[in-house]
Amino acid sequence: MTIRSVGFLLVPGFALMSYAPTVETLRAANWLAGRPLYRWWHAAPGDRPAIASSGAAVLPDFALGADVGQLDLLLVCAGGNPAEFNDKRTFAWLRKLARQGVAIGGVSAGPFILAKAGLLAGRRCTVHWDHIPAFQEAFPAVKLTRSLFELDGDRITCSGGVAALDMMTALITRDHGRELGAAVSDWFLHTYVREGVGPQRMDLRFRLGVADEKVLAVLKAMEENLEEPLSREQLAGLAGVSLRQLERSFLSSLSRGVHEHYLKLRLERSRQLLRETSLAVVEIALATGFGSPSQFSRAFRREYGFSPRHTLQHDRADRPSAAVPI
């Protein structure tokens, strides 16, 4: 039986939580099968040790672009702020491997790197939910989903975290059958293997501790309409209650009013875009439903105590060391 070769490209700032399941499942598959089914190696931009978001370092086995022999799959593990990664040597290498027929995948922020290399055009893909706003702004033509993982031919993408365990179980099942895939999952006490189409985020009722179905319907509508906010009257109409009743329900469920919560969601999105994109303040103001940059700046300063431009000047400069998504 042919041993499948898997390469890991570790981009500085990658999260161990996303990387570990990808390599540990391969080790477990070999152990449980009683024979080598997979072999793997690591590479990193600049051919230096790849420093994870936790500070742990992984030494590269090969220089970027070196002849590594047979390669069936390359997985790009990234975190931090992928929008800032612009290593042309890495992008050229990824495109070369794709032309050679190697399956290319990305984990957590890895799909962002693949998109920047031009490898996701016309492909279905996913990315960690925290990177979705920046990804959509940067690559509006890419078929982005909000699923746990996507297997689209020779392009494989995963939202990261424990979803990497679900994805790798699916790949091992595809390669060697359901029995081994189930055994690997069981080995890691992962008793419920999720399908790729599953949602990334916890249901709103559990994430926010809200039980009121009418409030939940409005919260969902808010999250889906940040660029063009719905009016309070429209939200009340969606819930089928009066505006006064909706306000009382929000105060009871969330200890804040409808407008206050909606504004908070939009400002959180704006801060994500400030940190993870190169968009100007005026573009971010429009992308989060503000009528003007000045209106946006006033609201932002009230919420965070500093201006959007402060974020541009300081937060973006600190990105490489930021502890960002899994």
**pLDDT tens, residue by residue, 275-284:** 777 788 998 9
Quote the pLDDT of residue 324: 42
Quote the pLDDT of residue 326: 53
The residue written with tokens 């290399």 in the block is 117
Q: Is the pLDDT of residue 1 over 90?
A: no
Quote the pLDDT of residue 190: 86
Domains within the chain, CATH numbers bracketed: 4-187 (3.40.50.880), 204-321 (1.10.10.60)
Q: How confident is the model at residue 315 (pLDDT cuts 50, 70, 90)?
A: low
- Which candidate, 89, 84, 131, 87, places its Cα nearest to that of 106? 131
Quote the pLDDT of residue 130: 87
Lowest mean pLDDT among 90-94, 205-209, 248-252: 205-209
Q: Is the pLDDT of residue 319 over 70?
A: no
Q: Give the chain's mean pLDDT.
A: 90
- Which candidate, 289, 265, 275, places its Cα nearest to that of 208? 265
**Average pLDDT over every residue of 304-324:** 64
Sign of CA dihedral 269, 54, 326, 117: positive
Q: Is the pLDDT of residue 316 over 70?
A: no
Q: Is the pLDDT of residue 222 over 90?
A: yes
Distance CA 51, CA 57 (A): 4
Beta-strand relationship, 103-108 and 73-78: parallel
pLDDT digits (tens, 9 = 90+) for 2-54: 899 999 999 999 999 999 999 999 999 999 999 999 999 999 999 999 999 99
- Which candidate, 274, 260, 272, 273, places its Cα nearest to that of 303? 260
Q: Is the pLDDT of residue 214 over 50?
A: yes
pLDDT digits (tens, 9 = 90+) for 253-279: 999 999 999 999 999 889 888 877 778
Task: For residue 173, give the amino acid letter.
Answer: T
Number of Cβ atoms within 10 Å of the Cβ of 314: 10
Q: How confident is the model at residue 321 (pLDDT cuts 50, 70, 90)?
A: very low
- What is the CA 61 to chain-centroid distance, rounded? 26
Task: For residue 253, give the amino acid letter.
Answer: S
Q: Is the pLDDT of residue 195 over 90?
A: no
The residue written with tokens 């009121």 in the block is 212
**Average pLDDT over every residue of 189-198:** 79
Task: For residue 309, give the amino acid letter.
Answer: R
pLDDT digits (tens, 9 = 90+) for 135-185: 988 899 899 998 999 999 999 999 999 999 999 999 999 999 999 999 999
**Average pLDDT over every residue of 222-226:** 91
Can you give the pTM of this predicted structure? Answer: 0.76
- HSE (CB half, 13 Å, CA atoms) of 233? 0
- State residue 142 phi and psi, 5-degree precision: -75, 140
Q: Is the pLDDT of residue 322 over 50?
A: no
Quote the pLDDT of residue 269: 87
pLDDT digits (tens, 9 = 90+) for 67-117: 888 999 999 999 988 888 999 999 999 999 999 999 999 999 999 999 999
Distance CA 84, CA 131 (A): 12
Listed in sequence order, the residues at least 6 apart from 195 whose beta carbon sits closer than 8 Å to its beta carbon are 148, 166
Spell out the long-range contacts of 124-127 with Cβ–Cβ below 8 A and sequence spacing 24 or more: 124/150, 124/152, 125/150, 125/152, 125/155, 125/157, 126/150, 126/157, 126/158, 126/159, 126/200, 127/157, 127/159
